[in-house]
């Protein structure tokens, strides 16, 4: 079976569990085989046998004595999901329904609120709201903690269960209780569900000569959408196009193959990303196939604390190749790869199977990618390593095997103007309005940097 590797927030499950004699019901009901008795005499295997017998004993005791009848499937799925979510923040089990929901979302359409979430310390944490969805219009922000849904606490719910509760029929309503940094009291936010059709690539011309392309997530439509957007902007600008801004802010990531394809659009040759798994033979490397679709135009990439996973692969590759200048704030720091493994008739599991590394050998796991030009969005945003990143999640993987502790290769190609770019907007800077690009301080600084970059130098590469 060929598994698809992605960078999706999720979880995993190991098959082939064996149960001891005390769990005869389990073996008969779920097709689990017994361990041979000889294994009980074999060191560590004997301890494994004892623990699996303990699991069977607990299962039987819960079935027989819990205050209310319990569904066997629920018990087993809860146990599996607990095993997986206890590994790291991104491994979990998906039942058949959750697996179908994930496949729909990966294709770019699903029903709900439009929030990318993960689980942290028993609560649901917002990675980022998706543009033009009920969540973004209601002001949900990256880093918000969802405490309750319709007044019911999310503590005790798995990530899948919480997501399932947030999804629902279009026009149905739900109330979220949110804790936000800097707010003394929880916020109550009422939302109306919609069919979420994700437009993953949005674009327009800035000043008639700069292509602005925003990528909101990496699903199956991302690379083709970016290519179409750039072609349209080239046609619109004629021969005046002098540079590209690739906006990856608050992009939570998605599919690894799409990250590779997008990075490949800007790089002529060399490595894009590599992964290192537990077993050396499972490690992989992806190289550019050649053919920069921009013809060497200067590129500035916008990143922030909501830029995660696939976004960081693209940003890291373009930074290491000195193909783009990164501007903004440090990224989220999710440097692990999840493999989605279908379980016939029983959904699927997402299992963390590798760490990924940028072309220079950096692991950004828990560290994130530092921009070449540090610029905060507002005066309130701290222009250094913020809390609520990957490293702050419970059971986050350690940063391991990389070079230089996440430091990018030294750059000598930055234009002199970067020394004059302010890290914070002036005190009288207008409040950000998505409909008014002139209020986007980071974007305006990116435009200034891009216009200072010589076109001819890059086009000659």
Q: What is the DSSP letter of 323?
A: -
Alpha helices in 211-309 (DSSP H): 222-237, 256-264
Positive or negative: CA dihedral 219, 391, 376, 267 = negative
A 10 A CB-CB count for 456 gives: 7
Among 165, 79, 85, CA closest to 119: 85
Element spanning 432, H or E? none
Active-site option among 23, 128, 217, 309: 309
| 154 close to 117: Cβ distance less than 8 angstroms | no
Place of tokens 């970067």: 418
| 366 close to 408: Cβ distance less than 8 angstroms | no
309 is catalytic: yes
- Which DSSP string do the residues of 389-401 spell out, in sequence order? SGGGSTTPPPP-S
A 10 A CB-CB count for 336 gives: 22
400 is catalytic: no
* Separation in Å, CA 352 to CA 5, 297, 339: 10, 36, 6
Active-site option among 320, 372, 388, 440: 320
Alpha helices in 118-268 (DSSP H): 134-137, 159-166, 222-237, 256-264
132 is catalytic: no
Active-site option among 98, 203, 334, 440: 334
Q: Which residues are catalytic?
A: 309, 320, 334
């Amino acid at each position: 079976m060929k598994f698809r590797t992605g960078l999706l927030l999720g979880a995993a499950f190991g098959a082939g569990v064996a149960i001891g004699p005390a769990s005869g019901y389990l073996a008969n009901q779920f097709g689990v085989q017994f361990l041979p008795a000889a294994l009980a005499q074999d060191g560590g295997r004997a301890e494994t046998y004892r623990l699996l017998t303990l699991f069977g004993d607990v299962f039987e005791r819960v079935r027989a004595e819990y205050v209310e009848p319990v569904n066997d499937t629920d018990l087993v799925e809860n146990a599996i999901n607990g095993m997986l979510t206890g590994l790291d923040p991104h491994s979990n089990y998906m039942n058949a329904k959750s697996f179908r929901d994930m496949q729909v979302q990966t294709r770019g359409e699903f029903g709900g609120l439009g929030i990318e979430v993960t689980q942290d310390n028993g609560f649901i944490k917002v990675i980022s709201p998706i543009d033009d969805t009920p969540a973004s219009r209601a002001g949900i922000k990256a880093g918000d903690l969802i405490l309750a849904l319709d007044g019911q606490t999310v503590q005790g719910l798995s990530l899948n269960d919480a997501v399932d509760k947030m999804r629902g029929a279009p026009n149905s309503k739900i109330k979220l209780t949110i804790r936000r940094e800097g707010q003394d009291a929880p916020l109550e936010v009422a939302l109306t569900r919609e069919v979420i059709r994700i437009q993953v690539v949005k674009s327009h011309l800035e000043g008639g000569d700069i292509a602005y392309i925003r990528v909101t997530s990496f699903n199956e439509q991302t690379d083709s959408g970016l290519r179409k957007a750039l072609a349209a902007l080239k046609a619109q600008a004629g021969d005046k196009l002098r540079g590209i801004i690739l906006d990856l802010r608050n992009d939570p990531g998605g599919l690894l193959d799409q990250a590779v394809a997008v990075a490949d659009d800007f790089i002529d040759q060399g490595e894009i990303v590599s992964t290192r798994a537990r077993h050396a033979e499972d490690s992989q490397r992806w190289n550019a196939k050649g053919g920069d679709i921009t013809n060497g135009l200067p590129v500035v990439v916008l990143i922030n604390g909501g830029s995660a996973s696939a976004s960081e692969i693209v940003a890291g590759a373009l930074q290491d190749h000195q193909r783009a200048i990164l501007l903004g704030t440090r990224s989220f720091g999710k440097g692990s790869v999840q493999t989605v493994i279908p379980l016939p008739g029983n959904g699927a599991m997402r299992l963390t199977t590798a760490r990924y590394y940028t072309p220079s050998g950096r692991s950004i796991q828990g560290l994130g990618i530092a921009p070449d030009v540090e610029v905060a969005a507002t005066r309130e945003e701290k222009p250094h390593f913020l809390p609520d990143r990957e490293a702050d999640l419970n059971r986050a993987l350690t940063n391991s095997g990389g070079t230089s502790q996440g430091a990018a290769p030294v750059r000598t190609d930055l234009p002199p103007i970067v020394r004059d770019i302010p890290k914070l907007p002036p005190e009288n800077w207008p409040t950000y309005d998505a409909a008014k690009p002139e209020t986007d301080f980071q974007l305006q600084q990116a435009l200034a940097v891009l216009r200072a970059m010589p076109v001819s130098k890059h086009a000659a590469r």
